[in-house]
Amino acid sequence: MDNQGIMAENQHKTDVVIIGAGPVGLFAVFELGLLDIKAHLVDILDRPGGQCAELYPEKPIYDIPALPVVTGQELTDRLMEQIKPFNPVFHFGQMAESLEKTAEGWRVTTDLGTVIDAKVVVIAAGGGSFVPKKPAIPGIDAYEGSAVFYAVRKMEQFRGKHLVIAGGGDSALDWTLNLQPLAASLTLVHRRDDFRAAPDSINKMRALVADGKMKLEIAAITGLSGADGALHAVALQSKEKGDYTIPADCMLAFYGLTMKLGPIANFGLNLHENLVPVDTEKFETATSGIFAIGDINHYPGKLKLILSGFHEAALMAQQAFRYVYPERKLRFQYTTSSSDLQTKLGVAQNEAA
C-alpha cells in the first residue's frame, strides 16, 4: 500500500483469500458472505469450476443434494449465480505461490505477482493445480524450457524454427494453425488419424498438409535427440513406417492437464500424503487462521465428495468469522427467516419496492 492509502493494481486487501475456485471454494464465498466476510479467490485455471470445469464439464453428477442430475459446468454456473450477491474477486490464471505471516493475518503471493493480504486463508485446492501433462519420453527433462514447451508464451520464439507439435485436441490444432506461418517447418504428430477439435481447425490443418505447407505424422513419439538442451530430431514410430526420425529444433506438446499439489507443499502445513490435515469442528489446520476444505483436506472418515466440501465450508466460515470480527458475537441465522440474510442476498421483501 502506498502512503495515499491506494493500493497498487496487483495488491489487494480482503478478509479471506480462498485458494482454488472449484465448487467448494465457490460455495465458501456464499457461507462467508452470509457472515459479512469478503473473499478473493485464486485459481490457476482461466475460469471458475476447478475439476468440474476442466475434467468433466459435460458429465452428469447425480449426488448433489436436491439436484437429481447436474453437469459439472451447470453446477459451476449455479454456484456463480448463488455467490453473485457477495461480489467475490477472482484472480484467474495464476497459482498461489507463497504464504507468509503478517501482523494482521496472512499474505498470499501468486506466480504472477498478485499480492493478497487477508485475515484468513482457506485452501480449497482440490487435487492441486492443473498443470500440463508431461509426455513420458526418455530424457525430455533436458530439453524443457530450451526446446520443449507445454504452452506458447511468445509466438515469435518459434519464428524460423523447425517445429514439432504433439497432440490431437484443440490446443494442438490451434497452435498448429497459428504457428505454421512463422515456423520454418511444422510437423503435427498424433497417435491416430482422427482429431477431437473444432471441425474448422481440422479442415484448415488438412488443407495445409494437402498444400505441402506442413506435415502430419500419425505416429508415437519415442525419443528426442540433441545436445546441451538443443534439440536436433524427434524419434517416431508407426506401424507403417517403423522407427524413423524427423529433424526438429522445438517441440510443443499438448496432452491436456493433470493435477499437481505444487507450492502448497511448501506452506508448512504438515501434509499427510499430499493432503492437509484439519480438525472436524472448524476444518482448520494446525496453524490458526489457515483452513482447508474439500478434496485437499484429510480427517478420519473423509469422503472426497462435493457435498462434504460444502458442509466443511459452512463450518469453516463460523470460525473464520471469529478471526475477521473478533469483537462481534456470531449470530446463527436461517436464510428462510432472517431479513438480515435476505438483504445480503438481495431478496428481502422490503427491497423490492
Partner 1 sequence: MKTLTLNVTNLDGTDHAVEALAGWQVMEILRDHGFPIKAECGGACCCATCHVYVAPDWVDRVNPMGEDEEVMLDSAMDVRENSRLSCQIVMTEALDGLHVIIAPNPE
In angstroms, rounded to a whole number, what is the distance separating the alpha carbons of residues 99 and 19? 11
Interface residue with partner 1, options 127, 289, 294, 309 (CB under 8 A): 127
Residue 133 touches partner 1, criterion: CB under 8 A: yes
Residue 193 touches partner 1, criterion: CB under 8 A: no
The CB-of-197 to partner 1 minimum distance in angstroms stands at: 10
Write each residue from 82 to 121 as x if it is in contact with partner 1 (CB under 8 A), else as -, in one continuous string.
Answer: ----------------------------------------
Q: Which is nearer to partner 1, 62 or 332 (CB)?
A: 62
Residue 272 touches partner 1, criterion: CB under 8 A: no
Nearest to 36 by CA among 119, 125, 126: 119
Residue 328 touches partner 1, criterion: CB under 8 A: no
Interface residue with partner 1, options 10, 258, 287, 338 (CB under 8 A): 258
| Sign of the dihedral defined by the CA atoms of residues 45, 47, 50, 55, in that order | negative
Report the site for partner 1 in 195-214 (rule: CB under 8 A): 196
Residue 303 touches partner 1, criterion: CB under 8 A: no
What is the chain's length? Answer: 353
Interface residue with partner 1, options 14, 51, 110, 297 (CB under 8 A): 51
Question: Of 74-82, 91-99, 130-138, 334-342, which segment contacts partner 1 by CB under 8 A?
Answer: 130-138
Task: Compute φ and ψ for 4, nearest 5 degrees.
Answer: -85, -10
Interface residue with partner 1, options 22, 23, 25, 167 (CB under 8 A): 167
DSSP 8: P
Interface residue with partner 1, options 38, 47, 84, 134 (CB under 8 A): 134
Residue 69 CB coordination number (10 Å): 10
Interface residue with partner 1, options 85, 93, 169, 262 (CB under 8 A): 169
The CB-of-168 to partner 1 minimum distance in angstroms stands at: 5
Write each residue from 212 to 251 as x if it is in contact with partner 1 (CB under 8 A), else as -, in one continuous string.
Answer: --------x-------------------------------
Interface residue with partner 1, options 27, 116, 190, 224 (CB under 8 A): 190
Number of residues forming the site for partner 1 (CB under 8 A):
23
In angstroms, rounded to a whole number, what is the distance separating the alpha carbons of residues 148 and 241? 24
Question: Which residues make beta-bridge pairs with 142?
Answer: none
DSSP 170: H
Residue 24, helix vs strand vs coil: helix
Report yes or no: 300 and 281 within 8 Å, Cβ to Cβ.
no
Q: What is the DSSP string of 58-120?
A: TSEE--BTTBSSEEHHHHHHHHHHHHGGG--EEEES--EEEEEE-SSSEEEEETT--EEEEEE
The CB-of-170 to partner 1 minimum distance in angstroms stands at: 11
In angstroms, rounded to a whole number, what is the distance separating the alpha carbons of residues 88 and 77? 14
| Sign of the dihedral defined by the CA atoms of residues 71, 74, 76, 82, in that order | negative
Residues at the contact surface with partner 1, assessed by CB under 8 A? 51, 55-56, 59, 127, 133-136, 167-169, 190-192, 196, 220, 255-256, 258-260, 304
